[in-house]
Structures are given as C-alpha cells and as structure tokens.
Amino acid sequence: MFSNDAKVIQRMAPLLRRVLIVDPQPASANLIAEHMRTVCRPEVTVAASNAKGLRAAGKISPNVIFVELAGDKVDALTFTRMLRRSDLPCRKAPVILTTASPSPSAILAARDAGVHEFLSKPFLVKDLLKRLEAVAMHPRDWVEAVDYIGPDRRRFNSGDYAGPLRRHADSAETPEQARIGQALNILKSALNAVEGNRAQALRALAAQTAELEQAAKALSDEKLLAATTSFHHYLFHAANSNQPLHRADVERRAVPLLAYLPTDEDPRRVQRI
C-alpha cells in the first residue's frame, strides 16, 4: 500500500466505523468484508436479503452500505429506494452498488435509485479505496424531492465508466442563484404530491425550505429569507397537524417563494437534477 493511500485511510477510518454488506453470496460478502477490515477495521454486518439489510441498517446505522445489484432476495435498486424513503437515521448513508455485470443501463438505473458509487467485480483494493474516498471525503449535496431522493445526480461517479453521464457542467460549482432555482423546481414538483404523498411531500418541501434559507442568507436577500421563514412556519404546523393538506392552500402559501422561480428564458435556469 502506498504512503498516500495510508494517509487517505487515516482520514477516512473514523468516518467508516460501521459497514453493512447486503449480498446473498457469502463468498462475495466475505471478500468485501475482508478488504474493509484490511483498509480500516470497521464493524462489519452482512445481510443476505433486502429485508434483513433494512433491519440491520436500522440497528447499526451504517456509515457505508455495499449492496449487490441483483441476486436471490437482493435487489440493489429496490433496497436503495426503500432506504431513501424510510425514516431510518441512516437513510442518507452512502450506498456502493457492486456487480460483476456492469452496463450503462445498470449505471443509469443505479444513479436514479439514489446510489452513490458503482463498483465492478472483481476489483482491486485501489478501486475500493477510490469509492470509499469519494463517499467519505467528498460528500455530495443531498436532493430531497418526491420522485427522487438521494445524492445530487450531477455529481454521480461511476468509477471507470466514461459514458454519457459525464458533462462539462458537472465540474462547475452550483452558484447560489442556480441553487435557488433547483430548490424551487423541487418545491414546485412537491406541491403536486401533497395530497397523494403527504409525508414525502412535506419532507421535500421542508428540505428545500432549508436550502432556500441558506441561499437567502448567503445572498443577504431579506425578502427571500422572510418568505422562506413564513413558509417554514406553515410547514412545521402542517407536519404536526392531523388535518389533511390541500394543494391549493399549500400553493397559496408558496406564492412568495415561487415568484423567485426562473423562467425558461431566464439565464439562471438550471439543469434537471
């Protein structure tokens, strides 16, 4: 192991104390466990099915999760979606998908399910280190929407795959105005789900309100901050009420915020998440 790797491992180790491996094949799961113990000696838990994996996640709150793409009672895409939409404290934990049969379509599906990284088997320790460093040392922004929950897909890292996921725009930092535009686009979409998917809609609306609050403070935009604070208070009371939500009421409350939404002609318009 190179000295540079040792320095990276030293920084990562405290962030990778608990590892969950969801894989129906004992040999494959044991190999990942052995590599992880070699790298940073974490507490490793292995589960052979999606159901057991979710139960284990609730018990140990893993810092990182490895899950096999497909196998007996294991489906990485379903597992990841269920984890992201759960109320588990570890719902945002990095998920590294593993498979011996990588393909562009599998990578795209993994990205859209909320997976952080893609690791092709067989792999070398240096490949594993690259993925671990990405999730532990370079965390991506979190997107809390209704149709998608997971790390920002524009920062998706598919390892050695060099297909159409990589765009020049992906390397640029998102400016505050684009951050506002993205948050408002998600907020607008969540408004459509308040009557059909109340829990996730409220969670998405609250998350975007937090994003807007940070952006408003960064820009010293008192008007946006006041509108955001007012909407936040409304959401807080709505979340703690047993009364049904009506889309028209929520939309009316969101009007001052939606006024900031860039139009199609506005140069601040952002790309889809």
Per-residue pLDDT of the chain (273 residues; tens, 9 = 90+): 445 678 888 899 999 999 999 999 999 999 999 999 988 999 999 999 999 999 999 999 999 999 999 988 999 999 999 999 999 999 999 999 999 988 889 889 999 999 999 999 999 889 999 999 999 999 898 999 999 999 998 765 555 444 444 444 444 445 788 889 889 999 999 999 999 999 999 999 999 999 999 999 999 999 999 999 999 999 999 888 878 889 999 999 999 999 988 665 444 444 434
What residues form DSSP beta bridges with 66? 21, 96
Amino acid 154: pLDDT:
75
Decide which of 144, 168, 192 is a domain's last residue: 168
Domain extent, residue 202, equals 176-258
| Stated pTM of the model | 0.82
Amino acid 157: pLDDT:
58
Which residue has 């113990």 as its token pair? 37
d(CA 150, CA 134): 15
d(CA 43, CA 55): 16
102, 131 contact by CB (below 8 A): no
157 with 212, same domain?
no
54 with 108, same domain?
yes
All residues at 6 or more sequence positions from 187 whose CB lies less than 8 Å from its CB, including other chains: 204, 205, 208, 209, 212, 254, 257, 258
268, 181 contact by CB (below 8 A): yes
Pairing of strands 18-22, 64-68: parallel
**What is the tally of structural domains in the chain?**
2
25 with 143, same domain?
yes
Decide which of 120, 146, 168 is a domain's last residue: 168
What residues form DSSP beta bridges with 157? 117
60 with 94, same domain?
yes
